[in-house]
Structure 1
Amino acid sequence: MTKQDFYFDLPEELIAQDPLPDRSSSRLLVLNKDTGETEHKIFKDIIDYLKPGDCLVINNTKVIPARLIGEKEGTGAKVEILLLKRQENDIWEALVKPGKKAKVGTKISFGNGLLTCEVIKIVDEGNRLVQFYYEGIFEEILDQLGQMPLPPYITHQLEDKNRYQTVYAKYEGSAAAPTAGLHFTTELLKCIAEKGIIIANVTLHVGLGTFRPVKEENILEHHMHSEFYIIEPEEAEKINNAKKNGGRIICVGTTSCRTVESAADEQGFVKAGSGDTEIFIYPGYQFKVLNALITNFHLPESTLIMLVSALAGRENVLKAYELAVKERYRFFSFGDAMFVTNNLKVTNINNN
């Protein structure tokens, strides 16, 4: 299986540069994963496809302003740091640009010395471990100096940085947003809960590994960067009880999907706990927990489109993407959404 198998032609103008004023007014392409049948809806219509007893799994991670612009001490050269993963004692794994100048011992200053760091180790795939030094509270300094780490294909400045957060974001630690969740409003989630759908929270701190291009022609040779997740006992119980009672497990986003699949036992029940996951889901994978998926439209040849193809079949997904391009759907982080399910029967159409 090659990465070329997951290529599709995407006009650049379909890459959404700005979020819509109303989160839930984006378009929704509903895809029957068994037949390939499709329907065109508005995102808030998602409630009509959810049934009492279903469990909606959301990722409540919060994006940190992880992009820091500083100066190399001694030369004043501009250096950009993207925080990827918190270690201990104020040490972070980070992506440093330009990397070739960030040798061990390099010191960088941010905000006229309000925050400084030193490169202490070069790690996997060119990333660095950096030790930070400061006075006060790190999170407050980061909030003052850092920028939201928007993906490189978004060239517009974000006027409201909260639009790159889900309305339920709670635990800080992500370098990128779990973007399928950006479509939900507080009001829509309230309506979903009132309809009898269970909402379970998991936390997976999204790193750039999720979005890293697949460089190997044979996708089986691709290695996923590890990401940290937590599932609390009461949230695992919600998912498992819904499953026992015949409800569907519907994951909001590939990150929620990868979390529950990483924590699943052989019977398809989720184990509470925390850990690092490097799970790579591609066609041939047998899902243990997930029944349906709410997701955005992803990059050609990405691990994300491979995950969706594992659920709905490569041909069905590529045909749906071809249709989305034809119908001028908006792609990527601020774009439209897709609901991959096995039942297109709408329930309670007039439900509010």
Structure 2
Amino acid sequence: MRTSEFYFDLPEELIAQTPLKNREESRLMVVDKKSGSIEHRIFKDIFDYLQAGDCLVLNNTKVIPARLFGTKDQSGGKVEFLLLKRIEGDRWETLVKPGKKARIGDHIIFGDGLLSAEIVAYGDEGSRIVEFNYDGIFEQILDQLGSMPLPHYIKERLEDKERYQTVYAKHEGSAAAPTAGLHFTQDLLCKLQDKGVSIAYITLHVGLGTFRPVKSETIHDHKMHAEYFEVTEETANTINRAKEKGGRVIAVGTTSIRTLESIADDDGKVHPGGAWTDIFIYPGYQFKIVDSIITNFHLPESTLIMLVSAFSSREITLDAYKEAVNNRYRFFSFGDAMFML
């Protein structure tokens, strides 16, 4: 399939710049994955569509303040780091701006010397491998010096950094939020549990590879970057038990979908464990475990819209996106949601 087949026209003013005051008041488009029929609701109405016995799967990764601003030790030139993933110890894969001037052996100073880094190797697709030096606890220093790594299409300042975290965020390690989960409140989750919906948490640390554009002419030539995930025994048992009793497995966000489809076997059973996944889901893929999905509205020609198209069809997905544009839905990270069932 050609990448251009997943293009749609998106007016720039529909790209959400700020989160809504109330998370669960965002809009919700409900799409039948087989017929393409559409309903327009509010996100808290998701309660009406989930039934006792269903299992809701959420990604409890937590976004780290991964953007750092520093200066070169020798020249004093300004440098920006975006931490992508920890390789081992104090070594990280990092995007560096300006990239062309970021050479092996360069030393960068952050926060008047509270933190420093040396570029030790070149990574994939222009990234750099850096090693940090500091006294104290890295996470505390990063929390002090770093800022939230909001996507490039968000131009406005985020007043409350917790709004770029899900209410159930727990395990630090992501360079971006699993944004489909931003719509849930603790109150809504409690109501769903009271209804008999089980909640299962997986962890996938989101890297920027998920959001990098597909530059190849055909989608089959695109290579996904690997991201680390963990599924506990408790989570695996919760999901398998729901499936065995006839409940639906409802994945919240593309990260949850990719994790579940990476760890499920061909019989649709989930096994506990931790691993790296570079799974690329596009039309033609046969889903093993996921029955329904909750997701935001994604970029044209992105791997994310390809995944949604695989769950339904390219035609139904693009028709739903056209409907979203015509009805002025808000797009991307702080935007509205789709429930495809």
The alignment partner of 2:275 has SS state of strand
The alignment partner of 1:112 has SS state of helix
Distance in 2 of aligned mates of 1:282 and 1:35: 19
> Do structure 1's residue 100 and structure 2's residue 85 form an aligned pair?
no
> Do structure 1's residue 154 and structure 2's residue 181 form an aligned pair?
no
Paired residues for 1:7-156 under 5 Å: 7-156=7-156
> Do structure 1's residue 304 and structure 2's residue 301 form an aligned pair?
no
The alignment partner of 1:87 has SS state of strand
The alignment partner of 1:44 has SS state of helix
What amino acid maps onto 1:84 in structure 2? L
Distance in 1 of aligned mates of 2:197 and 2:230: 22
- Which residue of structure 1 lines up, in the alignment, with residue 329 of structure 2? 329
Structure 1 position 312, deviation (Å) = 1.1
Per-residue CA shift, 1:155-214, capped at 9, x if unaligned? 001000000000000000000000000000010000011000010000000000010000
Structure 1 position 268, deviation (Å) = 0.9
The alignment partner of 1:24 has SS state of helix
Paired residues for 1:90-239 under 5 Å: 90-239=90-239
Q: Which moved more, 1:91-100 or 1:166-175?
A: 91-100
Per-residue CA shift, 1:208-251, capped at 9, x if unaligned? 00100000010000000100000000101100111111000000
Distance in 1 of aligned mates of 2:88 and 2:304: 30
Paired residues for 1:268-307 under 5 Å: 268-307=268-307
Question: What is the aligned-residue identity percentage?
Answer: 65
Structure 1 position 126, deviation (Å) = 1.4
TM-score, normalising length from structure 2? 1.00
Runs (4+) of structure 1 moved beyond 2 Å?
A: none
Distance in 1 of aligned mates of 2:72 and 2:39: 53
Structure 1 position 89, deviation (Å) = 2.2
What amino acid maps onto 1:63 in structure 2? V
The alignment partner of 1:148 has SS state of coil
Distance in 2 of aligned mates of 1:95 and 1:78: 14
What amino acid maps onto 1:53 in structure 2? G
> Do structure 1's residue 320 and structure 2's residue 320 form an aligned pair?
yes
Structure 1 position 326, deviation (Å) = 0.3
What amino acid maps onto 1:134 in structure 2? Y
- Which residue of structure 2 lines up, in the alignment, with residue 347 of structure 1? none
Alignment coverage as a number of residue pairs: 341
What amino acid maps onto 1:4 in structure 2? S
Distance in 2 of aligned mates of 1:222 and 1:132: 32
Distance in 2 of aligned mates of 1:340 and 1:297: 12
Distance in 2 of aligned mates of 1:123 and 1:8: 32
TM-score, normalising length from structure 1? 0.96
5+ unaligned residues in a row in structure 1: which ranges?
342-352
What amino acid maps onto 2:47 in structure 1? I
Give me the CA root mean square deviation. Answer: 0.5
The alignment partner of 2:88 has SS state of coil
